[in-house]
C-alpha cells in the first residue's frame, strides 16, 4: 500500500454512459497525476495537477475527459459518453514537488474500466 | 515514444540473480535512469534510479555502463514475488510525467 487510494477499483458500464473515478493522494503531496493503461502496454500520461491547478494535459485527453482537483487534495476523472476504446486501467499517482531524483511518483492500485 | 529498449520477456529461476538489460543509446547528460516494476493488478512501484554511478538499495542494484548507453537492473536473489513487468525509463529530474515503454515481463520460475 503506497498511501494513494482509488475508488472504485472496478467499473463496468455501458457505452454512452458517464463514469467518474476518484483518487486520494498521499496527504502532503501537492502533485497528482492521471495515467491510462491498456492491456499489454505501459501506462500513458493523461494529465497532472499541482495543488488545484491543472498544469498539463496530454492529447490523449479528449473532450469527453475532464479532471478536477477542487481543493488541492483528492481528484476526480470523469469520462462522458464512454466508448469501448475507453476500456483500460486508470492509474493515479502523487508526488511532492519540486521533484528531485528519487522523490518519485507513488501510484495507486488503479481503477479498471470495462465499457460494454 | 519511450527512449529505452528492453526485451519483452525473461525467465529466471527462483533464488538466482535476475539481470534485466536496458538500452538507452540516446540518453542525454542530464537524464537519469529509473526503474519501476508493476506487479499484476497493481500500480507501478519505484525501484531505483541512477545518473552515472552504480547504485544499490534494499530492492536491487543498478549498473550503468561508462558511456551511459545501457544499464542492467539486478535483483540479487529473485523470489516468486518478483514476477512483474519491469520498466526502464530515462528522464530529467524536473520531468513531471513518466513516459513508460512496454517493459520486460519477468517470470520467476520455482
**Is the pLDDT confidence value at A102 over 70?**
no
Which residues 6+ apart lie within 8 Å of B97 measured at CB? A33, A45, A48, A56, A58
Instruction: Give pLDDT, residue A18.
Output: 98
State the pLDDT confidence band at B48, using cuts at 50, 70 and 90: very high
Q: How far is CA A76 from CA A20, A71, A91, in A?
A: 7, 11, 12
pLDDT tens-digit map of A3-19: 999 999 999 999 999 99
Contact at 8 Å (CB) between B93 and A103? no
**How many Cβ atoms sit within 10 Å of the Cβ of residue A57?**
15
Q: Which residues of A touch B85 (CB under 8 A)?
A: 42
**Is the pLDDT confidence value at A37 over 80?**
yes
Contact at 8 Å (CB) between B94 and B31? no
Average pLDDT over residues B26-51: 92
Q: Which residues of B touch A91 (CB under 8 A)?
A: 43-44
**Is the pLDDT confidence value at B93 over 70?**
no
Dist. CA B56–CA B32, nearest whole Å: 15
Contact at 8 Å (CB) between A46 and A58? yes
Instruction: Mark yes or no for CB contact B49/A99 under 8 Å.
Output: no
Rounding to the nearest 10 degrees, give the CA dihedral for residues A32, A97, B97, A57: 60
pLDDT tens-digit map of A43-90: 999 999 999 999 999 998 889 999 999 988 999 999 999 999 999 999
Cβ pairs bridging A and B (under 8 Å): 60
**Is the pLDDT confidence value at B17 over 80?**
yes
Q: Is A85 helix (H, G, I), strand (E, B) or coil?
A: helix
Dist. CA B108–CA B78, nearest whole Å: 7
Percentage, residues of chain B above pLDDT 90: 80
Average pLDDT over residues B7-13: 97
Instruction: Give pLDDT, residue A96.
Output: 85
State the pLDDT confidence band at B2, using cuts at 50, 70 and 90: low
The closest alpha carbon to A46, from B86, B99, B107, belongs to: B99
A interface test, pick of B37, B43, B57 with most A CB neighbours within 10 Å: B43
**Is the pLDDT confidence value at A97 over 80?**
no
Which residues 6+ apart lie within 8 Å of B45 measured at CB? A2, A107, B36, B37, B38, B39
Amino acid at each position: 500500500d503506497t498511501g494513494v487510494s482509488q475508488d472504485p477499483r472496478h467499473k463496468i458500464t455501458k457505452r454512452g454512459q458517464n463514469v467518474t473515478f476518484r483518487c486520494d493522494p498521499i496527504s502532503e503531496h501537492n502533485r497528482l497525476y492521471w495515467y491510462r493503461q491498456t492491456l499489454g502496454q505501459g501506462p500513458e500520461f493523461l494529465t497532472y495537477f499541482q495543488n488545484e491547478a491543472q498544469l498539463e494535459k496530454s492529447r490523449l485527453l479528449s473532450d469527453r475527459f475532464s479532471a478536477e482537483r477542487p481543493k488541492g487534495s483528492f481528484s476526480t476523472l470523469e469520462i462522458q459518453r464512454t466508448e469501448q476504446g475507453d476500456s483500460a486501467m486508470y492509474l493515479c499517482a502523487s508526488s511532492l514537488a519540486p521533484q528531485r531524483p528519487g522523490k518519485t511518483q507513488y501510484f495507486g492500485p488503479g481503477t479498471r474500466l470495462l465499457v460494454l | 515514444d519511450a527512449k529505452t529498449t528492453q526485451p519483452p520477456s525473461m525467465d529466471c529461476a527462483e533464488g538466482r540473480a535476475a539481470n534485466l538489460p536496458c538500452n538507452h543509446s540516446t540518453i542525454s547528460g542530464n537524464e537519469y535512469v529509473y526503474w519501476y516494476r508493476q506487479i499484476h493488478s497493481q500500480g507501478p512501484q519505484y525501484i531505483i534510479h541512477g545518473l552515472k554511478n552504480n547504485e544499490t538499495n534494499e530492492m536491487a542494484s543498478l549498473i550503468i555502463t561508462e558511456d551511459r548507453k545501457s544499464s542492467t537492473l539486478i535483483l540479487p536473489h529473485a523470489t516468486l514475488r518478483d514476477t512483474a513487468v519491469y520498466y526502464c525509463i530515462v528522464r530529467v529530474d524536473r520531468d513531471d510525467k513518466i513516459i513508460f515503454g512496454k517493459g520486460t515481463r519477468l517470470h520467476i520460475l520455482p
